[in-house]
Amino acid sequence: MTLLFEPQPAVRAKTSTGDEFPVRRVFCVGRNYAEHAREMGKDPDRDPPFYFTKWAETIVPSGSTIAYPPATSNYHYEAELVVAIDRPGRNIPAAEALDHVLGYATGLDMTRRDLQLKAREQGRPWDSGKNFEQASPLGLIHPVSEVGHLSTGAIKLTVNGETKQSADIADLIWPVTDIITFLSRMYHLEAGDLIYTGTPAGVGPVVTGDTIVVSIAGLSPTTVTVGPAVDA
């Protein structure tokens, strides 16, 4: 038998301690801040947490130039706290959930908002709006031994220096413990999984040439510049 072509190597995220984190899967939480749920036209009090996924290959490191993606004219930023998992588990009890966390990072859940909203209206999957090349910029992963567990702290996003999102991760509707507990009832969590925990209010569009910076208190920022369109 012949291996028909070389498989892609694992995507490697960098940690603040100079190590590499092999990325397995990317889970994302939808509508996890009340003000953002409202700006998306939804009732934050009634909707239970839900998840969607992205390919590991969507991860790009902070400092990257990301191409303006095809098939959209409404390309949005979403600043998010990202949780890095390094211990497998299913049906993880709340009291043990944080034991599965290696550390935390800043990140961006980049979104083709026009495609996402059209899919939502039509009751179709969100993949085309959420899961595309370079859609998940990620900052350095800071281990818990360095920064502890994050349940409070400012989260902020700027575009070309202007503040667009400003909130506190204490405002997460479902905090990290709940996110892990609920997710582990549906999937066997694995070392290498990343969880993007949702974005606060203030999402909006970017265009070629814009520089986006996500900061969360205690973590390294994620900085990306939007490059020319893929098909330009």
Q: Which is nearer to Mn ion, 108 or 143 (CB)?
A: 108
* Closest CB 28 distance from Mn ion, rounded Å: 5
- Shortest Å, Cβ 5 to Mn ion: 33
Neighbour-count burial of 21, counting CB atoms closer than 10 A to its CB (0-12 exposed, 13-18 middle, 19+ buried): buried
Task: Work out whether 193 is an interface residue with Mn ion (CB under 5 A).
Answer: no
Closest to 92 measured CA to CA, from 179, 194, 174, 184? 184
- Using only the alpha carbons of the chain, give its radius of gyration: 17
Size of the site for Mn ion (CB under 5 A): 3
Q: Quick one: which of 78, 126, 167, 194 contacts Mn ion (CB under 5 A)?
A: 78
- Cα 128 to chain center, whole Å? 16
For residue 220, what are the CA distances in angstroms to 17, 108, 175, 205? Answer: 12, 13, 20, 23
Closer residue to Mn ion in complex, CB, 109/193 = 109
On whether the CB atoms of residues 98 and 177 are closer than 8 A, the answer is yes
List 199, 215, 220, 222, residue binding Mn ion (CB under 5 A): 199
Is residue 15 within the footprint of Mn ion (CB under 5 A)? no
> Per-residue string for binding with Mn ion, 95-124, x by CB under 5 A?
--------------x---------------
- Residue 4 φ/ψ region, left for φ over 0, alpha for ψ in the -120 to 50 degree band, beta for the rest: alpha
Answer yes or no whether residue 26 interacts with Mn ion by CB under 5 A: no
Please report how close the Cβ of residue 164 comes to Mn ion at its closest, in angstroms: 14
Beta carbon nearer to Mn ion, 106 or 199: 199
Which positions lie near Mn ion, rule CB under 5 A? 78, 109, 199
